[in-house]
């Protein structure tokens, strides 16, 4: 099985590569169209700012490429947000894979990414539990388990939500539509729980 990590102007890519190695997978980090298209699984990770990241993806024509994938794709953190319709961060249109309302991202989900306008510490950084966990996207027995978050923008609950976290207000901790999967939390920093979710995705 060939696993590819999309190479682009975002941080934390090599942490995901290390997490894959921990579960016995040697991934390729690439922005090569043919390598990505021929891969069995694709991971779209990252830490960054939505507007500058979308600008980079469009410059490299990676935006159209990502939307064309038919194999399982996993977005992590900014990767999930960019899969949405629009993000308030930089007021940018995204991939529109997930058609949801706020965390304006890539547009797969027709959704938006919104700022966490709450009287609590921002960014949301640390361990929180996931609830209402979907059994297709996740292994069994993950209800109430703790995972690691670092983010200031979020995707509200929507029809694509497959797990919810409550940090003052509930938001989408994970999304799923067709062959596109995504988590707001960092699998690569979530210990054994993160490894079990990553392994489950690799076995889809």
Instruction: Calculate mean pLDDT across residues 180-197.
Output: 95
Q: Which residue ranges make up each domain of the chain? A: 3-202
102: pLDDT strictly greater than 90: no
Sign of CA pseudo-dihedral 166, 155, 102, 16? positive
Q: What is the pLDDT of residue 88?
A: 84
Instruction: Calculate mean pLDDT across residues 72-96.
Output: 91
Q: Enter the pTM of the model.
A: 0.88
pLDDT range class, residue 86, cuts 50, 70, 90: confident
Alpha-carbon distance values, 82 to 33, 44, 93, 97 (Å):
19, 10, 9, 9
Instruction: Calculate mean pLDDT across residues 134-156.
Output: 87
Residue 131 DSSP SS3: strand
pLDDT range class, residue 59, cuts 50, 70, 90: very high
User: What percent of the chain has a predicted confidence (pLDDT) above 70?
Assistant: 87
Q: What residues act catalytically?
A: 77, 186, 188
The pLDDT tens digits of the residues spanning 117-135 come to 445 555 567 899 999 999 8
Q: What is the pLDDT of residue 156?
A: 86
Q: What is the pLDDT of residue 185?
A: 95
Tokens representing residue 14 in the block: 């090599």
Higher pLDDT, 109 or 144: 144
User: For all residues of the chain together, what is the average pLDDT?
Assistant: 87
The pLDDT tens digits of the residues spanning 155-186 come to 888 899 999 999 878 899 999 999 999 999 99
Instruction: Calculate mean pLDDT across residues 97-102.
Output: 72
Q: What is the pLDDT of residue 69?
A: 98
Bridge-based pairing of strands 124-129 and 146-151 is antiparallel
Q: Which CATH number fits domain 3-202: 2.102.10.10, 1.10.10.10, 3.40.1000.10, 3.40.50.880?
A: 3.40.50.880
Q: What is the pLDDT of residue 113?
A: 53
Tokens representing residue 27 in the block: 């991934």
């Amino acid at each position: 099985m060939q696993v590819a990590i999309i190479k682009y102007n975002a941080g934390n890519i090599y942490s995901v590569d290390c997490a894959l190695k921990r579960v016995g997978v040697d991934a390729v980090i690439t922005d090569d169209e043919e390598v990505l298209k021929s891969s069995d699984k694709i991971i779209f990770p990252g830490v960054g700012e939505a507007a500058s990241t979308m600008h980079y993806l469009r410059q490299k024509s990676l935006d159209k490429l990502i939307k064309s994938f038919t194999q399982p794709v996993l977005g992590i953190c900014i990767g999930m947000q960019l899969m949405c319709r629009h993000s308030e961060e930089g007021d940018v249109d995204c991939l529109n894979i997930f058609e949801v309302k706020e965390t304006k991202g890539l547009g797969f989900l027709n959704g938006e990414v919104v700022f966490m306008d709450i009287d609590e510490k921002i960014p949301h950084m640390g361990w929180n539990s996931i609830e209402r966990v979907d059994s297709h996207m996740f292994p069994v027995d993950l209800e109430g388990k703790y995972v690691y978050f670092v983010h200031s923008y979020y995707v509200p609950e929507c029809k694509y939500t497959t797990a919810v976290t409550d940090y003052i207000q509930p938001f989408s901790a994970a999304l799923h539509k067709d062959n596109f999967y995504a988590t707001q939390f960092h699998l690569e920093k979530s210990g054994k729980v993160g490894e079990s979710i990553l392994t489950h995705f690799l076995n889809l």
